[in-house]
């Protein structure tokens, strides 16, 4: 079942953490998604990086629809409208960009789908909003910092932002972002240490995710 924008935003509101992950092995990818699901995650981003990523994503969507029906699955690292249309055909729930391309936004609007464009200036945030984005992705977040989030809330108090890039799974870092006013955080390699992926100890990922979910729900 594909989720509507409203359903997706409700999931992100309930658990404002979006893991982002890429791996060429479909079984590893399934195990990671399942570990996140078991930890309480409701929304997951698979990034379109590397040869074969689209094929892995297509299989991952089928797996999630069958085995983890309460989880929304989206595709990240999308640059063009053509790519966006292709991933819509693979049944993605949403599209995430590292940049701002209004043509991708137009594809998402046509399909009534959530769109998270990557931005890093007030002008880009405004342009993304004008192009139909409800939640923008601030990237790279660790370069811009929490002070930037607080600053943009002055002229743009209603702006909803998700930060991605260098977000860490600990209380100090997460509290800093949410105190600054973010709507959600995107987390990648910090949730999936290389040693865990190599050892196959995905229960460790579940525990890391559980701790993060408990922390953000307490803020």
149 CB neighbour count, 10 Å cutoff: 21
Phi-psi region of 122 (alpha: psi -120 to 50; beta: other; left: phi over 0): alpha
One pLDDT digit (tens) per residue for the chain, 219 residues: 689 999 999 999 999 999 999 999 999 999 999 999 999 999 999 999 998 999 999 999 999 999 999 999 999 999 999 999 999 999 999 999 999 999 999 999 999 999 999 999 999 999 999 999 999 999 999 999 999 999 999 999 999 999 999 999 999 999 999 999 999 999 998 899 888 899 999 999 999 999 999 999 988
- Taking alpha carbons only, the member of 176, 177, 179, 151 closest to residue 163 is 177
Q: What is the pLDDT of residue 1?
A: 64
In three-state form (DSSP H/G/I as H, E/B as E, the rest C), the secondary structure along the chain is CCCCHHHHHHHHHHCCEEEEECCCCHHHHHHHHHHHHHCCCCEEEEECCCCCHHHHHHHHHHHHHHHCCCCEEEEECCCCHHHHHHHHHCCCCEEECCCCCHHHHHHHHHCCCEEECEECCHHHHHHHHHCCCCCEEECCHHHHHHHHHHHHCCCCCCCCEEEECCCCCCHHHHHHHHHHCCCEEEECCCCCCHHHHHHCCHHHHHHHHHHHHHHHHHC
Phi-psi region of 112 (alpha: psi -120 to 50; beta: other; left: phi over 0): left
Domain 5-214 matching CATH 1.10.10.60: the answer reads: no
Place of tokens 């994503």: 57
Q: What is the pLDDT of residue 215?
A: 96
Q: What is the pLDDT of residue 64?
A: 98
């Amino acid at each position: 079942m594909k989720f509507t924008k409203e359903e997706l935003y409700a999931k992100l509101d309930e658990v404002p953490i979006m893991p982002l992950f890429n791996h060429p092995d479909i079984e590893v990818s399934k195990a990671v998604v399942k570990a996140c699901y078991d930890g309480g995650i409701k929304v997951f981003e698979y990034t379109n990086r590397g040869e074969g990523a689209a094929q892995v994503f297509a299989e991952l969507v089928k797996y999630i629809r069958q085995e983890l029906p309460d989880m929304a699955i989206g595709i990240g690292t999308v640059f063009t409208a053509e790519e966006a249309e292709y991933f819509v055909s693979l049944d993605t729930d949403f599209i995430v960009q590292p940049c701002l391309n209004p043509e991708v936004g137009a594809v998402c609007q046509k399909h009534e789908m959530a769109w998270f464009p990557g931005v890093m200036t007030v002008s880009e945030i405004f342009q993304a909003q004008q192009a139909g984005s409800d939640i923008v992705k601030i990237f790279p977040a660790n370069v811009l910092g929490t002070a930037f989030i607080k600053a943009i809330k002055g002229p743009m108090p209603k702006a909803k932002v998700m930060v991605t890039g260098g977000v860490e799974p600990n209380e100090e870092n997460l509290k800093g972002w949410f105190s600054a006013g973010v709507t959600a955080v995107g987390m990648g390699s910090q949730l999936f240490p290389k040693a865990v992926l190599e050892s196959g100890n995905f229960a460790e990922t579940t525990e890391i995710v559980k701790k993060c979910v408990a922390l953000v729900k307490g803020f």
